[in-house]
Amino acid sequence: MEKKVYSVDGKELRTINLDDNVFGLPVNEDVIYYAINNELANLRVGTACTKGRAEVNGSNAKPYKQKGTGRARRGDKKSPILVGGGVIFGPKPRDYSYALPKKVKRLAMKTILSLKAQDDRLTIVEDFTVESGKTKDLAKILGVLAKGERTVIVLKDDDAKIKQAGRNIPTLSFLSYNRLRAHDLYYGRKVLMLESAAKNLADFYGTNEGAE
């Protein structure tokens, strides 16, 4: 697959050949669903906790006699159907995370990249950084290439300067080519990928099947 490479000013510079094993696959919605669900589940902290009948603070004494009052038969005030009583089958702290097969995760990333390329939402940009670390400098570039849409920038490495410039832009997120996240990648309306990152992706996902 051929894609045009753009400058930070939005000008066409050249074309680049993208690996069809990474950017030209048919869309597999199932693996995308599994990958996103897995990421969201692994983010859950699972700290919700309620008290059951045995844990609520209160007396175990019968509140009034069994017969003669005309009222319901009450065992104690901690009954779940009373205000202040225990909770029936309430949540307890738990771990929601689970492991997804490595091949499924890799296929999901390649599928999403292929989807973005097919929908013309993937733009290859010449390698750049923001030496000043200022938001306004990065915002100027995004105004040309992304036009205010929810954007993901795929970097070739951990560029601290460009991340510093983008941390105040709520519609922007950063990913490294070897640490992609299905949720961010899928829901990004525009994916800006550095030219070096695109070349590295071909090696990382295209030929190096054993890596993660």
pLDDT, tens only, 63-73: 899 999 999 88
Token pair of 74 as six digits: 């009450």
Residue linked to tokens 């009450």 = 74
DSSP tag of 27:
P
pLDDT, tens only, 42-94: 999 999 999 999 999 988 889 899 999 999 888 888 999 888 899 999 999 99
User: Could you tell me the pLDDT band of residue 157, with boundaries at 50, 70 and 90?
Assistant: confident
Read off the pLDDT of each residue in 188-203 and give the average, rounded to a whole number: 90
Residue linked to tokens 């054993």 = 210
Residue linked to tokens 């597999």 = 28
- Given a contact cutoff of 8 angstroms between Cβ atoms, the answer to whether 50 and 91 are in contact is yes
Domains and CATH numbers, the chain: 2-28+101-207 (3.40.1370.10)
- Given a contact cutoff of 8 angstroms between Cβ atoms, the answer to whether 46 and 21 are in contact is no
**Residue 25 identity:** L
> What pTM was estimated for this model as a whole?
0.81
Residue 117 DSSP SS3: helix
Q: Which residues contact 117 (CB under 8 A, 6 or more apart)?
A: 1, 3, 18, 23, 24
